[in-house]
Amino acid sequence: MLYVDGQILLFIQEHVRNTVCDVFFKGITHLGDAGIFWILLTIVLLCFRQTRKAGIYSACALAASLIVNNLILKNLVGRIRPYELVEGLQCIVPPAYDASFPSGHTGASFASAVSICRQIPKKYAVFFIVLASLIALSRLYVGIHYPTDVLGGLVTGIGIGLFVNVVGDRINGLKKA
């Protein structure tokens, strides 16, 4: 699997990367640095009564993603970054110093986006899912994650987002009863 992961990254580097996409995907990937976009979005959502529930769900999802992905899974798996192992792969963003699996950017993005999707109008929800997807793809484009790292972050992020919705809705249901 490591070989296939590496070949996908080399394909992206050889056949997809270009000057315009470099600028675009570097910008997109930095939106996920330390979860900054999602944290700021959460703060904005918390400021308004009609979006506060979405903000609370997002805050819970971001905290859970940090714990599951960055504190537990990255330390358990300890996967080395692809630019350190794949011959010829060049990472076009500053190197990361933590483990590669799962992608924390992807996990946080999908955890936050999925957690708020049922709480906001669909036209906004689509934007956040598209943005989370672009952040995930950017991690491959810039060469900092293997495809399976991003897939792992996608799975944990969606799972966490759905879990937060289920638990949050049950707690809200108990409060109303």
Question: What digits encode the pLDDT tens for the residues 6-59?
Answer: 999 999 999 999 999 999 999 999 999 999 999 999 999 999 999 999 999 999
How far is Cα 177 from Cα 41, in angstroms, rounded to an integer?
Answer: 30
Neighbour count for residue 49 (Cβ, 10 Å): 7
Per-domain boundaries in the chain: 2-176
CB 122 within 8 A of CB 110: no
| pTM, two decimal places | 0.95
pLDDT tens, 88-115?
999 999 999 999 999 999 999 999 999 9
pLDDT tens, 131-145?
999 999 999 999 999
CB 171 within 8 A of CB 127: no
Give the domain 2-176 fold. Answer: Vanadium-containing Chloroperoxidase; domain 2 (1.10.606)
